[in-house]
Amino acid sequence: MKTLEGKVAVVTGGSSGIGLATAQRFVEEGAHVVITGRREKELKEAASLIKRNVTTVVGDVSRLDDLDRLYAVVKEKHGHIDILFANAGAGTIAPLAVATEAHFDQTFDVNVKGVFFTVQKALPLFKDGGSIILTSSVSNVLGVPGFSAYAASKAAVRNFARAWTLELKDRKIRVNAMSPGPIDTPALATTTGLTAEQAQQAAAQFTTQIPMGRRGMPEEIAAAVAFLASDQSSYVTGVDLAVDGGMAQV
Ligand code: NAD
């Protein structure tokens, strides 16, 4: 049985990695998806992989006018939203001693301000309850050297889920955070600011810290997000679902 039949879902950061795998899964489960990301070419490529029931809107989640454009398209095409996956995020390595103000601001602009207004501006389009899932990170509970700004921004995201669960309960909107461990996506190799060799070393180091002994796949995150999006999780709200091979437990 398809769990998201006829639902309208918005996925930010939908052009690659976790967002793309989740948009694909949502469509397999019967949803219509609207994906957004910053680069038109990547978005179009993602849409051709998803194949059907997909709309693309180019935009940066840290820009409020881009979010207005995104939701104007959603409103015109579907009239409402059932599921919002606020997933776009940025995380480059920047040890405390050398991190710049620009790095700090960019991390919080995308991960904190971006998620905040992605959700705020979607609210008028939720008509009959719904599910909001926020991508946090296992780093919201771990010390990860070199990623303190990123980890702090993801802890903020986790806390949004707590507060918004209470703020939105009367509208029957559930809000959950979902915290991936190291997942095999382009971000792990390219956007962390590491060379390929450093990324390999970091990945090997991470792997020793994962009880299950391997990195996760985007499809494994997508399955967890599809659960949180669907009525199968109808009594789950305000949690932080770790999808991390047990990493947060050690
Ligand atoms: P990815 O690089 O494969 O995908 C990130 C997506 O977000 C891309 O589509 C990119 O275009 C989009 N994006 C980035 N900044 C944006 C912005 N300002 N506006 C709109 N879109 C933007 O990365 P991923 O690994 O799939 O990451 C997705 C989320 O998962 C992020 O929030 C990331 O922090 C989080 N996460 C990833 C891992 C991991 O190991 N891959 C672990 C924990 C958390």
ipTM reported for the complex, 2 dp: 0.98
- The CATH number linked to 26 is 3.40.50.720
- Residue 15 maps to a domain: yes
- Residue 249 maps to a domain: no
Residue span of the structural domain in which 106 resides = 8-243
What is the distance in A from the centroid of ligand 1 to the CA of 90?
6
pLDDT for the residue 189: 62
- Residue 248 maps to a domain: no
Residue spans of the chain under pLDDT 50? none
pLDDT digits (tens, 9 = 90+) for 86-104: 999 999 889 999 999 999 9
Query: What are 32's strand-pairing partners?
Result: 8
Atom of ligand 1 nearest to the CA of 46: 9
pLDDT for the residue 199: 72
- Residue 129 maps to a domain: yes
- Residue 104 maps to a domain: yes
What is the distance in A from the centroid of ligand 1 to the CA of 109?
14
Closest CA to 225 of 33, 75, 72: 33
Nearest CA to ligand 1 atom 33: 89
- Residue 47 maps to a domain: yes
Look at the chain and report how many structural domains it folds into: 1
- Residue 80 maps to a domain: yes
Do residues 24 and 50 make contact, with C-beta atoms less than 8 angstroms apart?
Answer: yes
Atom of ligand 1 nearest to the CA of 91: 34
Do residues 144 and 128 make contact, with C-beta atoms less than 8 angstroms apart?
Answer: no
pLDDT for the residue 187: 75
pLDDT digits (tens, 9 = 90+) for 192-216: 667 777 777 777 777 888 999 999 9
Cβ of 16 closer than 6 Å to ligand 1, yes or no, is: yes
Cβ of 90 closer than 6 Å to ligand 1, yes or no, is: yes
Question: Known catalytic residues?
Answer: 150
- Residue 3 maps to a domain: no
